[in-house]
Amino acid sequence: MFSPRVVSLVPRTGPRRFMSTASKLTTVEVNDKTGIATLTMCRPPVNGQNLELLLDIKSSIKEIENDSSRGLIITSASPKVFCAGLDILEMHKPDQQRLRAVWTELQNVWCALYGISMPTAAAINGHAPAGGCLLATACEYRVMVPDCRIGLNETQLGIIAPKWLVSGFLNILPKRVAERALTQSRLFTTDEALQEGLIDEIANSKEEAVEKCAAFIGTFSKVNPVARALTKLQFRAENLRQFHKEREQDVENFLSLVNRPEVQKGIGAYLEGLKKKKANKQ
Ligand SMILES: CC/C=C\C/C=C\C/C=C\C=C\CC(=O)SCCNC(=O)CCNC(=O)[C@H](O)C(C)(C)COP(=O)(O)OP(=O)(O)OC[C@H]1O[C@@H](n2cnc3c(N)ncnc32)[C@H](O)[C@@H]1OP(=O)(O)O
């Protein structure tokens, strides 16, 4: 199902690049000068998080961690979308084993990104609803391009986002703003996200967003890395501890929710809506 990773290192002069996986759903490029790794999601058209993409993101994060990079930037190869969240096709008339694996891997990706000790930043070069927002809010810093939307819209889909999925969001926003945004399924525009503190900066292009993320990571160059890492993890430990306590039950909750006939009906209708949107565009 998942092919072994092929790692090809290009010479150490100039930026070093290694293609993360044989399937190429993500790439990892390490800048030799700065030591910062950029993880790019490459599953057209919208980086829908299917099982293979989630496995690939997780492996790339682990690879970056093992390579002792100075920091991690996550971004997307898609011109308009950072990540559209879970691939809805994985939830429609699902294969049960695969559905279980999808949710488990979403948990694993979040856990790997949220709990990594090195500095992390998201160059949000397009829309970032639901699982896209989850990735961005697991990072320490966010830079977003104009005229896009970011947020947790699960409630609108009839889903109650579990605590771990919301914890990054809650790290960033005041509780009152987070509660209202979640209950209203609010997708913030880039400007609103900046105003509320959900993102840290706006950039006019993906390249500029990556540069700003690298500058943020660079601010730690004179800070003791062990002290920095332990401080970060101290802030995140309670959320991670709670997550590990509840993760198995959370998978069962997800499976039972998705398998409910009314939810399946809702997912079908949602998919139809996305298709109609395409037809209206043409
Ligand atoms: C519906 C779920 C209901 C119940 C599920 C129950 C339990 C799940 C529990 C928790 C799940 C939580 C996390 C999640 O991530 S759920 C996923 C939520 N994601 C979304 O709602 C995003 C939906 N997509 C969009 O809003 C837009 O596509 C966009 C803003 C990301 C991009 O807009 P564009 O105008 O640029 O592009 P489109 O024309 O809309 O889309 C292009 C293409 O991509 C397909 N697509 C879009 N999003 C998804 C997706 N999440 N999964 C699979 N496919 C997606 C879309 O259909 C188009 O395909 P075609 O070109 O028509 O083939």
pLDDT for position 274? 86
Confirm or reject: Cβ of 266 under 6 Å from ligand 1: yes
> How much distance in Å is there from the Cα of 86 to the middle of ligand 1?
7
Mean pLDDT of the chain: 91
pLDDT in tens, 154-194: 888 777 899 999 999 999 999 999 999 999 999 999 999 99
pLDDT for position 4? 30
Confirm or reject: Cβ of 46 under 6 Å from ligand 1: yes
| pLDDT at 1 exceeding the cut of 50 | no
Average pLDDT over residues 5-28: 56
More confident residue, 140 or 282: 140
Q: To test the ligand 1 pocket, which listed residue (46, 148, 156) has its Cβ within 8 A of the most ligand atoms?
A: 46
| pLDDT at 2 exceeding the cut of 60 | no
What domains are there in the chain, each with its CATH number?
Answer: 16-281 (3.90.226.10)
pLDDT in tens, 47-76: 999 999 999 999 999 999 999 899 999 999
Average pLDDT over residues 75-96: 97
Active site residue 131: yes
Catalytic residue among 55, 86, 99, 187: 86
Confirm or reject: Cβ of 14 under 6 Å from ligand 1: no
pLDDT in tens, 215-246: 999 999 999 999 999 999 999 999 999 999 99
Confirm or reject: Cβ of 157 under 6 Å from ligand 1: yes
Rg (CA), the chain: 18
Distance from C-alpha of 85 to C-alpha of 134, rounded to nearest angstrom: 8
Average pLDDT over residues 21-40: 90
Residue count of the chain, please give it: 282
ipTM: 0.93
| pLDDT at 23 exceeding the cut of 60 | yes
Active site residue 86: yes
> How much distance in Å is there from the Cα of 33 to the middle of ligand 1?
37
